Amino acid sequence: MDDLPFDKPGRFFKGNLHTHSTGSDGKLSPVDVIARYRDRGYDFVALTDHFWSLYDFPVTDTTPYRTDGFTTLIGAELHCGGTPYGGGWSNGLWHIIALGLPLDFAPTRDDETVHELTARAAASGAWISLAHPGSQGFEPHHVLEVENIDAVEVYNSGAAYYDERGDGWYLADGLAARGRKIGCAAVDDAHFDGRPHEFTGFVLVKAEECTPEALLAALKARHYYASQGPEIHDIAVVDNVVTVRCSPAESIIVAGRGAASPQWHYGQNVTEHSFAFDGGFSDGFLRVTVRDHAGRRAWSNPFFFGQS
């Protein structure tokens, strides 16, 4: 199944897709931020400073900090006006993570719409994600109107810490239920400002090599899963049976569209379970959650049935 990464060639690489440095409102220099992730065993990181005039529209060149076995993705957190809900800390701005940007990506115009900005980023080859949607109250119809969003942040540990709105699954499920093949990312949105949420949200990307090109291609193909710590080793779908293998867990949950779809399995150190869907996969999509005994979760992207 093309939606699932587990049978694809290569291995999983651990990375963070949303973090900040002194290039905008972070407290550590770019070299120090990247060293923190490398020293914690990450395989890659994206430095995504705020692309605002206040910071002279930074797209930080992190290529000098790449080493054997560790790489960086060039990106930024783009902004433009026109969200459905103004005011507050976001000041009515869209927050868009764009990875794979050119270093000379042109500054945002004052009158640029989210449609124009995301189209311009996509045309440059970028992978595009909607940042902390729970904090800004986005609803599915707001995102359905924007063609070039590849993913939403289903967990942003910074938002979870600051305002208890770090969960974006309500939005991802709403989009998937409407047929949108959306990717789902977990990030820490770290600013290294003394708040203890760094390294608590990340993605595992399946690729043949740890290079920017291979990682971006895998992100665009949704060949990854999101996690706070647990690992998903495999999800296989055969004859209306979904089999999940994972690191030791308290529960494995398979859910799709609506309250009638979920199935779950609880136990001590569960590492594998199969779920039979006797009526087939009529809901159109399913997704898997693995929860460990500490309450940390890993999530698959939604995988779809009966769609091209």
Token code pair at residue 8: 């694809």
Is it the case that residue 210 has pLDDT exceeding 60? yes
Assigned token pair, 195: 């708040």
Is pLDDT at 308 greater than 60 in this prediction?
no
* Topology (CATH) of 11-227: TIM Barrel (3.20.20)
Averaged confidence pLDDT in the chain? 94
- Specify the higher pLDDT residue, 257 or 288: 288
Residue-wise pLDDT tens digits, 44-101: 999 999 999 999 999 999 999 999 999 999 999 999 998 888 767 777 899 999 999 9
Band the pLDDT of 132: cuts 50, 70, 90: very high
Name the CATH topology of 232-304. Immunoglobulin-like (2.60.40)
| Terminal CA-CA length for the chain | 11
What residue ranges of the chain are covered by domains with CATH 2.60.40.10? 232-304
Strand locations in 166-277 (E): 183-187, 202-207, 224-227, 232-238, 241-256, 263-276
pLDDT of 279 over the 90 cut: no
**Rounded mean pLDDT of 151-173?**
96
Does residue 173 sit in helix, strand or coil?
helix
- Section 105-125 average pLDDT: 97
- Tens of pLDDT, residue by residue over 177-188, are 999 999 999 999
Q: Looking at the chain, which residues constitute the CATH 3.20.20.140 domain(s)?
A: 11-227
The DSSP secondary structure of 208-235, one letter per residue, reads SSSSHHHHHHHHHTT-EEEESS--EEEE
Residue 71, Cβ neighbours under 10 Å: how many? Answer: 23
Give the model's pLDDT for residue 233.
Answer: 98
Residue 265 above 80 pLDDT?
yes
